[in-house]
Amino acid sequence: MSGQLDMIILLFVIISGIGAITVRDLLGAAILFGAYSFLMCLLWAIMGAVDVAFTEASVGAGVSTVLFVAAVFRTTRRTKD
Amino acid sequence: MSEFIDFFVGKYNYWAFILLMMIGLYAMIAKKNLAKKIIGMNIFQTAIILFYISTAAKGGGASIPIIAHGHGHGLSEHGARAADYINPLPHVLMLTAIVVSVATLGVALTLAVKVYHQYGTLEEDEIADRIRAQTGGEP
């Protein structure tokens, strides 16, 4: 762990994680989840795990968000909680 | 008292991982929407991956695990000092975990789409109501 930057990004990760499960719109939740994945990838790049950060940026933030948005468009954006 | 505070503040990353894991667990248990449950499952997985990656990190100027001047010369005379490089073993384990997590996300979303086509909703309580209506009162 190195200094202040990872603490700030860790705070953003927690905020976007809470936002992804509280927003009342599934498309917004999917986009916030993509932001969560990309911030997590930045955190891993800071920690020195560059290979894991590459994989997370392509697979986690890329493919997962695309799959989620596709699933939301095939079902519904409505959510009650 | 001050060493007590140092103990808690010095391990802030572990508290953050526990907080992220509990956010994911809360979303899996308490949220009624199936897509929210899937997001909670992924948050839980990434929190565990983050914990493993942070166990690999080292202080004291350790760099990424690529040996400098490893090609041809230098390595045979001196060898590589393990304290200069971040531990690459948890990275390799967590690469597998990331791929597994995207596979489970795909399967879970496919099941959610099939459930939506069957019952017309993604809310768990509404699905239970429709199953109850179809089977005539039996849950």
DSSP annotation of B65 reads: S
Q: What is the pLDDT of residue B105?
A: 95
The model's confidence at residue A37, banded by pLDDT at 50, 70 and 90, is very high
Average pLDDT over residues B41-57: 91
- Count of C-beta atoms within a 10 Å radius of residue A52: 29
Which ipTM score applies to this complex?
Answer: 0.92
Average pLDDT over residues B91-116: 94
Answer whether A4 touches B (CB < 8 Å).
Answer: no
Q: How far is B6 from chain A (nearest CA, A)?
A: 16
| Total domains, chain B | 1
The token duo for B8 is: 């808690």
Residue B27 has pLDDT above 70, yes or no: yes
Q: Which residue is closest to A66 within chain B, CA to CA?
A: B106
- What's the CATH code of the domain at B51? 1.10.287.3510
Give the Cα separation of B108 and B87 in Å (integer): 33
A13 contact residues in B (CB cutoff 8 A): 16, 20
Q: What is the pLDDT of residue A1?
A: 47
- Residue B33: strand, helix, or coil: strand
In a domain? residue B101: yes
Rg of the Cα atoms in chain A: 14
